[in-house]
Amino acid sequence: MTRIGVFCCWCGSNIGGVVDLDRVREEVSKMPGVVHAECYRYFCSQPGQQMIEDAIGEHKLTGVVIAACSPSMHEGTFRKAAERAGLNRFHVEIVNTREQCAWVHQEEQEAATEKAIGLIAAMVEKTRQNEPLSPGSAPVVRRALVVGAGISGVQTALDIANGGCEVILVEKEPSIGGHMAQLSETFPTLDCSQCIMTPKMVDVAQHEKIRLLTYSKVEEVTGNVGNFHVKVRRMSAHVDRDKCTSCGICIEKCPVTVTSEFDEGLAARKAIYVNSPQAVPNTPVIDAEHCLYLENGKCGICAKVCEIGAVDYEQADEILEFDVGAAVVATGFDEFDPNLKPELGYGRYENVITGLEMERLCSSSGPTMGEIEIDGKKPKDVVFIQCVGSRDETVGNEHCSRICCMSTTKQAFLVKEKIPDAAVTVFYMDIRAFGKGFEEFYDRVRKKGVVYRRGSVSEIYRKKDRLVVRAEDTLLGEPLDLETDLVVLAAGLVPRHDADDVAKLFKLSRSTDGFIKESHPKLHPVETTTNGVFLAGCSQGPKDIPDAVAQAGCAASKVLSLLESGKLTTEAQIAEVDEERCAACAMCVTACPYDARTLDEERNVAEVDEALCQGCGACVAACMNKACELKNMTTRQIGSMVSQLGDRS
């Protein structure tokens, strides 16, 4: 006989303030099969869980329905509590009365209450028909994939490798370091970015547990948590990486010049190049798009001057395959393109530059050796503009980029250091100096004479060889026209242009700001909607270096605890096949996104690989003969849930 207990959680005032829980309990008590119903302020708390355990024993419950927050929050908590009381965890079901009732119907309390009662009635019906299940286990491959080798990817790779697991670190660019390698000093401590980054880059290259693949892209990811199979395309560098001694003669003699991506277009590079003298690895690559030999067979100088014959025009792309147990996506960000704000004159005036371009100008390894100069002239007046492309709905970016307040403050400081008599003005709307030491640094910079004026710049125009910045000082309520020699736009951080491809590759979701979505903003900040895939750094949202490093460490520890566990509990609520009905049409094989369905051609039936099946139900929908069913989510169960809801409406 089924004996169901229903527990209605207040969730503080989250649910209790909207849904009339006394009435819910009253209605629920009348439902067939329900022998116990109670309400409590926080069922997730220790005493709350104890109440559930006690009730299971006292009322000999065979099923538990908990009306509370989303199952993604506490399903595990409550199932563990039931297990402690001796009930199979799959006899516990959650009704989401918080998100689906209280939160979305805050203004319609009666309707919210009715909806809660209906949803509970449906779930009671389902629970009555639940079967006890036991999850299986699968082995875990003790190797991790890290995608992207900026500071986040580098730190994640080092932490995992130091923990004893192998790492495949894949970077699209010819060398590692990402955006951080481009920076000059870092706020608020003014550590030189190169000085703190380069040793880590070298560690990565030398670590015996890390296989570094630069100039490479992940092309395909199949399989599942614990057992992913990845294909990586190692793009041809047209240089034999083993032979090359990085002497640099090929670069010196190459006749083709191209604007340098690493120097943000402020300097030139050759068609055979390394990003910077500190690049790791230091082996040059040939940019096939611009190489004369690869284009039309003429030139060939680099091959002629290379004494050891490392240049290889015939070298083809390689496809490498790996099995990994977990993956970390650390693909970073793009800088906002200020061409989308035409009134600021970027791209029209050469002395309007972005924050990253300013970093290259300030960097002692940059194109001007750290001198802030435009066309060889040092600016006397410098204007910084905050929030370019951040907090701006007209370009679709509602978010704050978090780093620009402080990176601008740091750059203003550097201008004052390098050109002491320069007049520096920062236009801002709000200064967000939230991090450790940030407010103190902001103070220090203002004491140095940097003028902060509250207001957004409306337009920039040229006047002879200078620029005029037109803004409103909103604190004075006065308009102003400010003549200047250099304008630096604090262009915000936006999702990488290929964020969508990365999301598709790993089956991840993206949040409304376009960055990759974590599975819970507070409690699972590095996990994703795909089990075994984690996030680090700006792929998840804008963050500064300390936050990126902290998140990288967090992702690494999650990866290690997964890989070190050795085996994995597999999903128990999976698909099963009624072999009598199966016609072996293979619709399920095509429908399955996890490669869990195969055809046994001898017996002529479709099979389920229990280790791979995630219980998504795609095969159930695809099956023409109704031969597929999802355990504890059978067609019959769904039918009775729907009829419960139908009876009540």
Partner 1 sequence: MTLRLERGTFTTTFTQRLKELSGQDLFTCYQCGKCSAGCPSASVMETPPHAVVRLAWLGQEKALRGLNTYWLCAACLTCDLRCPKGIDVSRIMEALRVMFLRPREEPDMVAPDSLPKDMLSRIPQQALVAGLRKYTK
Given the rule CB under 8 A, which residues bind partner 1? Answer: 343, 387, 391-394, 429-430, 454-459, 470-474, 477, 479
User: Nearest approach, Cβ of 41 to partner 1 (angstroms)?
Assistant: 32
Contact of 185 with 358, CB cutoff 8 Å: no
Contact between 351 and 485 under an 8 Å Cβ cutoff? The reply is yes
Provide DSSP, 619-642: HHHH-TTS-EEETTS-HHHHHHHH
61 by DSSP, 3-state: which? coil
What's the gap between Cα 309 and its chain centre? 42
User: Nearest approach, Cβ of 386 to partner 1 (angstroms)?
Assistant: 10
Measured CA distances, 236 to 239, 305, 309, 315 (Å): 8, 20, 16, 6
Cross-strand bridge partners of residue 488: 353, 384
Q: Using the minimum distance from each CB to partner 1, give the nearer residue, 228 or 427.
A: 427
Residue among 149 and 494 whose Cβ is closer to partner 1 = 494
In the complex with partner 1, which residue's Cβ is closer, 101 or 385?
A: 385
Residue 300 corresponds to which tokens in the numbers above? Answer: 């060939």
Residue type, 122: A
Considering the complex, state which of residue 458 and residue 590 has its C-beta at the smaller distance from partner 1: 458
How big is the CA angle at 143 (ends 142 and 145), to the nearest 5 degrees?
A: 150
Q: Which is nearer to partner 1, 457 or 608 (CB)?
A: 457
Contact 300, 312 (CB under 8 A): no
The residue (of 153 and 455) whose beta carbon lies closer to partner 1 is 455
Q: How far is the CB of 385 from partner 1 (least distance, A)?
A: 11
| CA 251/CA 246 separation, integer angstroms | 10
Least separation in angstroms between CB 273 and partner 1: 38
Q: How far is the CB of 436 from partner 1 (least distance, A)?
A: 26
CA distances from 414 to 98, 363, 381, 436 (A): 50, 10, 14, 20
Smallest CA-to-CA distance from 508 within 490, 495, 493 is with 495
CB of 479 to partner 1, least distance (A): 6
Geometric angle at alpha carbon 315, from 246 and 294, rounded to 5°: 90
> What residue type is 158 in one-letter code?
L
- Closest approach of partner 1 to the CB of residue 427, in Å: 9
Minimum CB separation of residue 289 from partner 1 in Å reads 37
- Bridge partners of 493? 335
Contacts of residue 419, Cβ cutoff 8 Å, sequence gap at least 6: 372, 378, 379, 380, 382
CA atoms within 13 A on the CB side of 356: 21
Least Å from the CB of residue 429 to partner 1: 5
Nearer to partner 1, 182 or 386 (CB): 386
* Residue closer to partner 1, measured from CB, 202 or 451: 451
**Given the complex with partner 1, which of 458 and 635 has the nearer CB atom?**
458
Scan for tokens 């829980």, then name that residue. Answer: 21
